[in-house]
Chains A and B, each alone.
Chain A
Amino acid sequence: MIGRARTRRFLTTVGAGRWRLVPLLYSAMLLLPASHVLSGGPLFAQTIPSVSRSGSKTSVQFLYPEQISVPAGKPFSTDLHFRVDPGLHINSHSPHEKSLIPTNLLVVEEPGLKVQSVDFPVGAEYSFAFSPAEKLSIYSDQFVLRAHLTAERGEHLLQGVLRYQACDSNSCYPPKTIPVAIDVIAK
């Protein structure tokens, strides 16, 4: 799925320990003003929003990798694998309607580790049974994002969250985020 048919957006440079939206281009659509994206403090003081409803079930899981080895100081790409629960789908990174919430990845940049861009796969076409004329762009089952990064020599922790909004065949669930964490060993 990764390859020709995909979109690519680029990041701009910000300081260490700051939440970054990948792609930054979609910050406005995600209701993330630039001040939020670019402001912040220490790494772990910058947190994802509170849980509004305790016990809400996630529909998407980050599968792997947990750890990657990369060549120090050289551009490197790695695939991030996710799974959507059976019977559910989530909007792709580029849904056809503006009111629908796109799947996005937010990452924390830390010293020595830079995520330059993330490729999102093109969504599959889908229609609800009750609205066959309306075509949606979705991810279901498993999907893969490709992150392009560079890392200085040493061990780093790539941290981020995947934001998505899921539906089943006749109802939709509020947007959620799940954590993504990868040990990056640059040699």
Chain B
Amino acid sequence: MRRNHLVILIVLAALILISWSGYHNHLRRSLESQQRAASHVVLTRDGEGGSPPAGEATGTPTDSGSDYRPGALEHKAAPAFTLVDLNGRKVSLSDYRGKAVLVNFWATWCGPCQVEIPWFIQLHNQYASQGFEILGVSNDTLDDDDQTRLEQEKQEVSTYAAKMKMNYPVLLHGDTLAAAYGNFDSLPTSFFIDRKGTVVAETNGLHPRDEVEADIKKALATGGQ
């Protein structure tokens, strides 16, 4: 009887030992897995080392998505800004007070932008006499830390603008305005601003030419002379 108790005790002890060992093995693997995941984050943060253009977004599976809400700026004052154009001249939105302005965010790598730029050129020609202006704000990434590279990148934007025959000011560093203009996450994105500086319409993505023209007319018609 006493021997049976002893055997049962030994078996129980062995089972407890096995369970404890398995549990600790599980903990160790979980910890290793977490450390590995953490090392991936280290790899993709901060922008000192070589490679994709500085300022470029780095995605991870935990990204939560943009907080962009289309139309959030409508009926509000257009956020003020000053950027430089392709010639290095400072251009402010306030320079255009009293005019209807289309602020169009675009990039050289954006196919839909390429479709609407010719429309803008035609519409600019058509409505400029009524006080309509366009500011084409490039969202191409520019590397301010590397002068040679910066000049090359500016030249690429300039070459593209010339190729497209853009007849309105092309401004650089548009990505610095993303937060002020609602954190839009895709291009093209356009804001139609009336003569008093109020956003009267906003579009994200390519919209039909007729709709663009209607928004221009709306900007021209509101806000007084």
Contact = CB atoms under 8 A, between A and B. Distances in A.
Do A and B come from the same complex? yes
Contacts of B79: none
B89 interface: no
A167 interface: yes
Given A106-B52, A161-B52, A173 B185 contact: yes
B162 to A, nearest CB: 13
Nearest to A162: B59
Interface in B59-89: 59-61, 63-67
Interface residues of A, number: 57
Interface in A138-187: 159, 161, 163, 165, 167-168, 170-179, 181
A125 interface: no
B47 interface: yes
Interface in A8-66: 18-19, 21, 30-33, 36-41, 44-53, 55-61
A44 to B, nearest CB: 6
A107 to B, nearest CB: 10
Interface stretch (B11-19, B36-44, B127-135): B36-44
A101 interface: yes
Interface string B104-130: 000111111111000000000000000
B48 A45 contact: yes
A100 interface: yes
Contacts of B110: 167, 171-172
Contacts of A60: 59
B145 to A, nearest CB: 11
Contacts of A179: 40, 43-44, 58, 60
Contact of B149 (A31, A38, A165): A31
A174 B105 CA distance: 12
Contacts of B63: 55-58
Nearest to B209: A130
B56 interface: yes
B51 A32 contact: yes
Given A176-B59, A179-B44, A48 B52 contact: yes
Nearest to B37: A181
Contacts of A52: 55-57, 141, 175
25 contacts: A30-B52, A32-B52, A36-B51, A47-B49, A50-B58, A51-B58, A52-B141, A57-B59, A131-B114, A131-B115, A136-B111, A159-B40, A163-B56, A165-B109, A168-B205, A170-B205, A171-B188, A172-B107, A172-B110, A172-B186, A174-B57, A174-B187, A176-B58, A176-B59, A181-B36
Interface of A: 18-19, 21, 30-33, 36-41, 44-53, 55-61, 99-101, 106, 108, 128, 130-131, 134, 136, 159, 161, 163, 165, 167-168, 170-179, 181
